[in-house]
């Protein structure tokens, strides 16, 4: 986890748009106003931090996300296996998207009517596809965690999924070779299915 956090968070300076700190009641988020004074934005209970992170609440402020993770990790509150699963899922998906952005660039897409985003692009053996953080995490939850939980049961399956994700982390700025291969195989299978069957009639993870 430290490798991935350092790769992203390590680039950010302590002084910036947001200030985040762990308090006795949760993670306190402050934002600098036009006078340079930090004002209170939110106090996130410890039990809710990972759920809101996984839901993409701070997706548009990646440095804020890592500030929150660092503050959450520095607190002395006990993390549940469910918390750790959400954290590792988020870190792996974020690292994968960053690596694909650096390797293949981005594409400007209309996210909502009149709202545009620059999406990272995955390019594999079967073709290419745009990458969206939330759908990446949903795909991992369905295809990686789901298989382990189905085989080993809810409690042990979650523990095994955490171990599986830690194996996907490398010693350099992100994923291991195995981690990249696992996600490449997953995305190649999505593209192959799309090429064979076309777009699904209802929204799915990809």
Q: Which of 12-16, 40-44, 141-145 has the lowest mean pLDDT?
A: 12-16
Both 15 and 65 in a single domain? Answer: yes
pLDDT score at 119: 94
> Does residue 100 lie in a domain region?
yes
Both 69 and 94 in a single domain? Answer: no
Both 125 and 180 in a single domain? Answer: yes
pLDDT at 8 over 60: no
> Does residue 206 lie in a domain region?
no
pLDDT score at 160: 98
- Residue 197 CA, chain-centre distance (Å), reads 28
Instruction: Provide the domain limits for residue 52.
Output: 2-74
pTM, rounded to two decimals: 0.87
Q: Which of 48, 74, 100 is the last residue before a domain boundary?
A: 74
Judge contact between 23 and 75, C-beta under 8 A: no
pLDDT at 39 over 50: yes
Both 86 and 172 in a single domain? Answer: yes
Both 47 and 113 in a single domain? Answer: no
Both 99 and 28 in a single domain? Answer: no
Both 113 and 136 in a single domain? Answer: yes
> Does residue 32 lie in a domain region?
yes
Both 87 and 44 in a single domain? Answer: no
| pLDDT tens figures, 167-203 | 999 887 799 999 999 999 999 999 999 888 876 544 4
Query: Taking all residues of the chain, what is their mean pLDDT, rounded to a whole number?
Result: 89
| pLDDT tens figures, 127-167 | 999 999 999 999 999 999 999 999 999 999 999 999 999 99
| pLDDT tens figures, 65-124 | 999 999 999 987 889 999 999 999 999 999 999 999 999 999 999 878 888 889 999 999
Q: Which of 58, 74, 90 is the last residue before a domain boundary?
A: 74
pLDDT score at 129: 95
pLDDT score at 190: 94
For residues 96 and 16, the model is more confident at 96
Q: Which of 10, 44, 74 is the last residue before a domain boundary?
A: 74
Domain tally, the chain:
2
pLDDT score at 78: 81
> Does residue 49 lie in a domain region?
yes
């Amino acid at each position: 986890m430290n490798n991935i956090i350092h790769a992203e968070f390590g680039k950010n300076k302590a002084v910036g748009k947001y200030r985040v700190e762990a308090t006795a009641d949760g993670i306190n988020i402050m934002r600098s106003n036009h006078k340079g004074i930090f004002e209170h934005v939110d106090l996130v209970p410890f039990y809710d931090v990972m759920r809101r992170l996984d839901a993409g609440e701070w997706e548009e402020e990646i440095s804020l996300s890592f500030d929150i993770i660092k503050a959450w990790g520095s607190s002395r509150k006990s993390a549940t296996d469910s918390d750790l699963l959400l954290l590792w899922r988020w870190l792996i998906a974020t690292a994968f998207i960053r690596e694909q952005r650096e390797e293949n660039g981005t594409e400007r897409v209309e996210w909502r009517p009149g709202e545009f985003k620059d999406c990272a692009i995955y390019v594999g053996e079967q073709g290419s596809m745009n990458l969206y953080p939330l759908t990446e995490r949903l795909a991992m939850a369905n295809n990686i965690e789901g298989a382990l939980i189905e085989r080993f049961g809810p409690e042990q399956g979650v523990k095994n999924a955490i171990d599986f994700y830690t194996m996907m982390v490398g010693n350099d700025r992100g994923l291991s070779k195995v981690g990249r291969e696992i996600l490449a195989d997953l995305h190649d299978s999505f593209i192959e299915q799309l090429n064979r069957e076309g777009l699904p009639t209802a929204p799915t993870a990809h």
